[in-house]
């Protein structure tokens, strides 16, 4: 890991010095122990701030899209010949590159507007699982050595194996190495052992009765406080005006009616058909711990089962809902 | 009057979201040919089935439809 | 494309616990008045069997 970090800083410095990128999105050490926070770097001297470890949880493709679309907007009223090009660099793991591929498929920006520094990934720490493993105690100091977390809390020292606190989406991750990259740092990481049973949870849930599934859905959605953190963190959620904020027509009521929350979540989830890269950002930012992944994974499974498509794994694939084949699934069509 | 309402058998409210060129014309033909069918459907005409946002279906269910039919 | 959209929608609504028979998708062409009547009959019977909707319904 230290080695990767060192190479990453060198590479970032080089790209910024050669002016190959105008801004670089990466992670820096967080203000609390065992955290990392996204940072934006524009000069080579700042490259030493970059870190890469198991605490980098967000999907940085969100910021890439934000930066580039802001730049596009700022260039709208400039004459075409005077328009400036801006290149955004990003430190990207497997899921981040999948999101970028998705943006490219959806024509959000050009491949030449983004420079991808690929890094191998062996999963990140789920903050909620870590807090649960420590029984909610505050972390005073902590360090990661190999596969072991050494943590000092008010109650004393504690050792936690990294495997125990990995995020669920990382355990079953199929694409932990970058799909596309301009510069690759380090050797590709070994495949995650859980990838073969990525849909085990969904299959189990499918076996429940309709009533049980509905009860689970309503229970999970009753936790939701509609802070929209999931939407803010999601790299696939980039509409300039989200349907929840639209007033003409008003799609979803803004009150505390339970069905409005359910409809909001249902529709946000459904917007992820064939677009969810399972980066776990929505789950990790959710302050109420809503089990969104169970539903997102189902959409992913359906798209793979019906159309044989996985989100953001190839630049040549069109988005699954914008194309069709003659022999697509049609057993759901009602025939009187 | 109220008693009559209570005695009435419950009938489902169904929203049919139909394509202008296919099913809407089909429904028109059914009407012209005087084919009998249950009067529980409220037809919403859209320019094409591709025009239908999945939200229409969910919104219909939320605002009190017992069933939704999408037909192209 | 519409077929793909509604294949996933139906499957997803069923997954979260809304009975599959509440959302029905079909094709009727402009020359199939007879089929349209049959579809409506079939759909009404299916929904009648399920009873009034209670899930996701907003109390106004």
Contact C30 B22 (CB under 8 A): yes
Q: What is the span of the domain harbouring residue C41?
A: 2-50
Q: Is residue C56 part of a domain?
A: no
Structure tokens at A217: 């859905």
> How far A333 CA sits from the closest chain B CA (Å)?
9
Q: Does C4 touch chain B (CB under 8 A)?
A: no
Chain C residue closest in CA terms to A210: C17
Query: pLDDT-derived band of residue B1, with 50, 70 and 90 as boundaries?
Result: very low
Taking the C-alpha atoms of residue A99 and residue A105, their distance in angstroms, rounded to an integer, is: 10
**Full-prediction pTM beyond 0.80?**
yes
Structure tokens at A54: 């198991």
Confidence check: pLDDT of A335 > 70: yes
Most confident of A68-72, A140-144, A195-199, A247-251: A68-72
Q: Is residue C31 part of a domain?
A: yes
C-alpha A272, offset from chain centre: 12
Among A239, A242, A251, the strongest candidate for a mutation testing the B interface, having the largest count of B CBs within 10 A, is A251
Provide the pairing of β-strand A50-51 with A148-153.
unpaired
Domain count for chain C, please give it.
Answer: 1
φ/ψ (deg, to 5) at B69: -115, 125
Taking the C-alpha atoms of residue C22 and residue A74, their distance in angstroms, rounded to an integer, is: 47
Query: pLDDT-derived band of residue B72, with 50, 70 and 90 as boundaries?
Result: confident
Q: Is residue C33 part of a domain?
A: yes
Q: Does B67 touch chain A (CB under 8 A)?
A: no
Q: Model ipTM?
A: 0.90
Taking the C-alpha atoms of residue A190 and residue A176, their distance in angstroms, rounded to an integer, is: 8
Enumerate residues 6+ apart whose C-beta is below 8 A from A114: A64, A68, A87, A88, A89, A90, A100
Give the count of beta carbons closer than 10 Å to the beta carbon of residue C39.
27
Contact B65 C34 (CB under 8 A): no
C-alpha dihedral (A203, A206, A212, A215), degrees to nearest 10 = 90
Q: Does C55 touch chain B (CB under 8 A)?
A: yes
Query: pLDDT-derived band of residue A293, with 50, 70 and 90 as boundaries?
Result: very high
Indicate the average pLDDT of chain A. 91
Given B28, B32, B61, which is nearest C53 (Cβ)? B61
Residue with tokens 């794994």: A313
φ/ψ (deg, to 5) at A61: -60, -30
Q: Which residues of B touch A270 (CB under 8 A)?
A: 54, 58
Residue with tokens 């990481």: A189
Q: What is the pLDDT of residues A306-317, one digit of tens each?
A: 998 899 898 988
Residues of chain A with pLDDT > 70, as a percent, come to 99
Q: Is residue C58 part of a domain?
A: no
Taking the C-alpha atoms of residue A294 and residue A202, their distance in angstroms, rounded to an integer, is: 6
Taking the C-alpha atoms of residue C4 and residue C25, their distance in angstroms, rounded to an integer, is: 11
Contact A332 C8 (CB under 8 A): no
Least confident among A8-22, A99-113, A144-158: A144-158
Mean pLDDT of A46-51: 92
Q: Are A117 and A92 in contact (CB under 8 A)?
A: yes
> How far A122 CA sits from the closest chain C CA (Å)?
31
Alpha-carbon separation of residue A333 from A131, A261, C3, C30 (angstroms)? 47, 29, 9, 18
Q: A149, A147, A99, A146: which is closest to A127 by C-alpha? A: A149
pLDDT at residue A326 in the model: 87
Cα angle, residue A247 at apex, residues A243 and A250 outer, rounded to 5°: 70
Q: What is the pLDDT of residues A232-275, one digit of tens each?
A: 999 999 999 999 998 888 889 888 889 999 999 999 999 999 89
Q: Which residues of B touch C53 (CB under 8 A)?
A: 61, 64-67
φ/ψ (deg, to 5) at A240: -60, -40
Structure tokens at A147: 């596969």
Taking the C-alpha atoms of residue A149 and residue A134, their distance in angstroms, rounded to an integer, is: 12
């Amino acid at each position: 890991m230290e080695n990767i970090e060192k190479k990453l800083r060198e590479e970032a410095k080089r790209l910024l010095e050669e002016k190959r990128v105008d801004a670089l999105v990466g992670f820096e050490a967080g203000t609390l122990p065992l955290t990392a926070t996204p940072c934006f770097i524009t000069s080579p001297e700042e490259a030493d701030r970059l870190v890469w470890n198991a605490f980098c949880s967000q999907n940085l493709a969100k910021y890439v899209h934000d930066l580039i679309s802001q730049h596009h907007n700022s260039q709208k009223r400039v004459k075409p010949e005077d328009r400036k090009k801006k290149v955004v660099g990003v430190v990207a793991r497997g899921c981040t590159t999948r999101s970028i591929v998705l943006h490219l498929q959806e024509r959000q920006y050009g491949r030449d507007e983004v420079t991808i520094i690929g890094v191998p990934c062996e999963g990140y720490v789920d903050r909620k699982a870590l807090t649960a493993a420590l029984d909610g105690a505050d972390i005073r100091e902590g360090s990661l050595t190999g596969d072991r977390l050494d943590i000092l809390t008010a109650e004393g020292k504690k050792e936690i194996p990294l495997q125990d606190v990995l995020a669920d989406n990382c355990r079953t991750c199929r694409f932990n190495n970058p799909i596309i990259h301009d510069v690759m740092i380090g050797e590709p990481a070994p495949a995650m052992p859980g990838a073969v049973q990525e849909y085990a949870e969904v299959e189990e849930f499918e076996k429940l009765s309709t009533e049980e599934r509905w009860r689970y859905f309503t229970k999970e959605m009753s936790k939701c406080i509609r802070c929209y953190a999931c939407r803010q963190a999601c790299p696939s959620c980039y509409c300039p005006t989200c349907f929840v904020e639209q007033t003409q027509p008003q799609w979803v009521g803004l009150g505390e009616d339970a069905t409005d929350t359910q409809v909001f979540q249902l529709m946000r989830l459904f917007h992820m058909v064939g677009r969810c890269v399972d980066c776990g950002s929505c789950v990790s930012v959710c302050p109420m711990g809503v089990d969104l992944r169970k539903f997102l994974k189902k959409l992913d499974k359906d798209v793979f089962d019906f159309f044989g498509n996985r989100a953001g794994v190839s630049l040549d694939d069109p988005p699954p809902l914008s194309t069709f084949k003659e022999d697509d699934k049609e057993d759901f069509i009602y025939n009187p | 009057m109220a008693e009559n309402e209570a005695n009435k058998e419950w009938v489902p409210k169904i929203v049919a979201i139909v394509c202008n060129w296919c099913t809407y014309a089909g429904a028109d033909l059914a009407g012209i040919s005087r084919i009998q069918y249950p009067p529980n459907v409220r037809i919403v005409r859209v320019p094409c089935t591709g025009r239908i946002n999945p939200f229409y279906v969910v919104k219909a269910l939320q605002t009190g439809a017992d069933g939704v039919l999408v037909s192209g | 494309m519409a077929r793909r959209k509604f294949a996933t929608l139906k499957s997803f609504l069923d997954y979260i616990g809304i009975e599959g028979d509440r959302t029905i998708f079909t094709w009727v062409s402009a020359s199939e008045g007879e089929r349209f009547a049959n579809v409506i009959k079939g759909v009404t019977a299916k929904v009648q069997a399920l009873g009034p909707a209670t899930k996701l319904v907003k109390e106004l």
